[in-house]
Amino acid sequence: MTVPPPTSPSPSPSPSVPRPSSPALSVVVATLRVAGCVFAEDEARLLLSTARTPAELSAMVERRAAGLPLEHVLGWAEFHGLRITVDPGVFVPRRRTEFLVDRAVRLAPRSGAVVVDLCCGSGAVGAALVADLDQAEWYASDVDPAAVACARRNVTGGEVFEGDLFAPLPAGLRGRVDILLANVPYVPSDEVGLLPPEAREHEPLVALDGGADGLDVLRRVTAEATRWLAPGGHLFVETGERQAPHAVEVFQRDGLLARVEHSDELYATVVIGTRPGGRADRVGRGGADR
């Protein structure tokens, strides 16, 4: 997997928040630049807009300059139009994963979808999808207790379970799931050390390391997916671009119809698997499933 290039900070200030122009801005920008922050001015404005007191601002700048991810310093990340709470030590939702959400929105039933979000982390992916659906029934799970606690703060109208993949989910969901989201770890083990320090030092290894070829967790998901998906239901997994052909083979081996979609703009690759047996003309919110 090729590590994606740096992107601008995911959070962005609300248009209603005045853009700070005080001497404090210059000081914060200079401090962040010395620390190596690529988008120092944008980050400085976010910190100034978020901090409630000079002491809090000073502490936030110090943590950011020490290498803590911006989202952990702010306590939130912007994702697919939502402000998602992100606690220290929890995986930070990536902008590129918005592409996965967009693909899922397009294929989800118009109303009453049953949604499951595995490896949910902060709960950002499921929350973003359900925000665009009507009367969805949804569930999420993660093996990391810190992520589960964070997701429970972001989830509205759904349930979050602590446990390994499908294990903690209610058995009654088997064969009923319309949309199965699985933002699994997919960095090959020997490439974890190539990730930016913000990720490898401040995010849980379980959310990053996908095994020797990066597909270990994906294989475990696809092995059970057809038991949980409704006929015609869809599984969405993000992978690296060069991993995608191998991921498709795994999907097909486990009985899923599979295809790959890619976004050059977001540097994102998503594999979509469909359980056979649904109506050929099944229509999602954005049109026919094609």
Confidence band, pLDDT 50/70/90 cuts, at residue 11: low
Average pLDDT across the chain, whole number: 88
Q: What is the DSSP letter of 141?
A: E
Say yes or no to pLDDT of 190 above 60: yes
Give percent of the chain above pLDDT 70: 88
Q: What is the mean pLDDT of residues 194-216?
A: 94
Give me 133's structure tokens.
């659906």
CB neighbour list of residue 178: distance below 8 Å, 6 or more residues apart: 108, 109, 113, 114, 115, 229, 230, 233, 234
How much is the pLDDT for 289? 39
Residues 16-72 have pLDDT tens digits of 333 444 668 889 999 999 988 889 999 999 999 899 989 999 999 999 999 899 999
CB neighbour list of residue 168: distance below 8 Å, 6 or more residues apart: 141, 161, 162
> pTM of the full predicted structure?
0.86
